[in-house]
């Protein structure tokens, strides 16, 4: 058993990924993730960070906002990017990731206006918008990329079959992803998105991947225990495993075909 400040976790031994932590419940993993992000910002107050959106991140960003409001950490000089945005998508639409980032990250973490970098889901030419965002990313060394994992073990909106070399691009969402949005979540989301590519993600100095619950456990199991292949997008993280941290809950860990280590 290890103590992450207040939070107990078990470490999972993996051949490529050095830091896999299993927390008892997702709430603990989210608090630990917030602590991890805050520590990076305290060490480097001008850190450049890529933020995932989605349900997994809501409690993480909420915990970070609480730390900011208490004056425990200052994100104002950090640079904030996001992973992806539906296309076409108005920044005011309820499912817009730009909106999510504006509200839950830019505003909640009080990031300075000049350090906020959004993907424009209404750009006339989505390929040109992907290029514009990619150029912004390439001017920076991203210190931390925060990721969730979704249908088909996607990261960002890099769906199964996406080459690991791809940079920011216009992606077609898989049936599994659009079904999740439409059927499971009742959201009528577009079938395309502009997403950072796996190459952008892998070039970050550190990567934090979060996944909770049994369904995420099955996506994680493919990514961690099957082949490293574009058919399992998150498996790419094993190519840079020494800079990857994976925080999961017990429920997700139960779906993994690798045992707990006693360390």
55 sits near ligand F6R (criterion: CB under 6 A): yes
The minimum distance between CB 248 and ligand F6R, in angstroms, equals 13
The minimum distance between CB 150 and ligand F6R, in angstroms, equals 2
Asked whether the CA dihedral 187, 188, 194, 195 is positive or negative, the reply is positive
What is d(CA 133, CA 101) in angstroms, rounded to the nearest whole number?
15
Among 26, 53, 168, 235, interactor with ligand F6R by CB under 6 A:
53
Residue closer to ligand F6R, measured from CB, 175 or 261: 175
251 sits near ligand F6R (criterion: CB under 6 A): no
CA distances from 96 to 1, 54, 93, 200, 245 (A): 40, 10, 5, 21, 27
Residue closer to ligand F6R, measured from CB, 150 or 197: 150
80 sits near ligand F6R (criterion: CB under 6 A): no
Contact 136, 119 (CB under 8 A): no
| Upper half-sphere CA count for residue 153 (Cβ side, 13 Å) | 25
Place of tokens 């639409």: 93
Q: Where are the alpha helices (DSSP H) in the chain?
A: 26-43, 58-69, 97-101, 126-139, 175-179, 198-202, 213-225, 250-253
97 sits near ligand F6R (criterion: CB under 6 A): yes
56 sits near ligand F6R (criterion: CB under 6 A): yes
Binding to ligand F6R by CB under 6 A, coded x per residue (else -) over 137-166, reads -----------xxx---xxxx---------
Burial 165-198, CB ≥16 within 10 A → b, else e: ebbbbbbebbeebbebbeeeeeeebbebbbbbbb
The minimum distance between CB 64 and ligand F6R, in angstroms, equals 16
Residue closer to ligand F6R, measured from CB, 69 or 175: 175
Which are the contacts of 69, defined by CB distance < 8 A and separation ≥ 6? Answer: none
Q: Rounded to the nearest 5°, which phi and psi values hold at 249?
A: -105, 170
Pairing of strands 244-249, 48-51: unpaired
236 sits near ligand F6R (criterion: CB under 6 A): no
Among 63, 64, 83, 130, interactor with ligand F6R by CB under 6 A:
83
The minimum distance between CB 251 and ligand F6R, in angstroms, equals 14
84 sits near ligand F6R (criterion: CB under 6 A): yes
Residue closer to ligand F6R, measured from CB, 14 or 233: 233
The minimum distance between CB 54 and ligand F6R, in angstroms, equals 3
237 sits near ligand F6R (criterion: CB under 6 A): no
Interface residue list for ligand F6R (CB under 6 A): 52-56, 83-84, 97, 148-150, 154-157
């Amino acid at each position: 058993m290890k103590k992450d400040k207040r939070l107990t976790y078990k470490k999972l031994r993996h051949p490529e990924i050095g830091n896999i932590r299993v927390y008892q419940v997702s709430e603990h993993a989210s608090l630990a993730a917030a602590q991890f992000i805050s520590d990076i910002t305290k060490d480097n107050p001008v850190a450049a960070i890529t933020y995932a959106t989605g349900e997994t991140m809501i409690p993480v960003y909420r915990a970070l906002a609480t730390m900011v409001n208490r004056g425990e950490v200052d994100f104002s000089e950090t640079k904030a990017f996001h992973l992806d945005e539906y296309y076409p998508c108005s920044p005011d639409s309820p499912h817009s990731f730009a909106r999510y980032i504006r509200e839950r990250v830019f505003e909640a973490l009080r990031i300075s206006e000049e350090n906020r970098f959004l993907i424009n889901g209404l750009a006339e030419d989505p390929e040109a918008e992907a290029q514009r965002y990619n150029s912004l990313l390439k001017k920076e060394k991203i210190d931390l990329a925060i990721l969730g994992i979704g249908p088909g073990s996607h990261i960002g909106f890099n769906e199964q079959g996406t080459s690991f070399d791809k940079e920011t691009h216009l992606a077609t969402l898989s049936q599994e992803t659009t079904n999740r949005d439409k059927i499971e979540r009742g959201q009528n989301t577009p079938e395309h998105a502009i997403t950072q590519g796996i190459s952008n993600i892998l070039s970050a100095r550190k990567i934090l991947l979060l996944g909770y619950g049994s369904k995420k456990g099955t996506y994680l199991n493919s990514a961690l225990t099957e082949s490293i292949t574009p058919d399992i997008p998150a498996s790419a993280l094993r190519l840079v495993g020494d800079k990857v941290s994976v925080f999961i809950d017990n429920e997700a860990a139960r779906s993994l075909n690798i045992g707990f280590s006693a360390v």
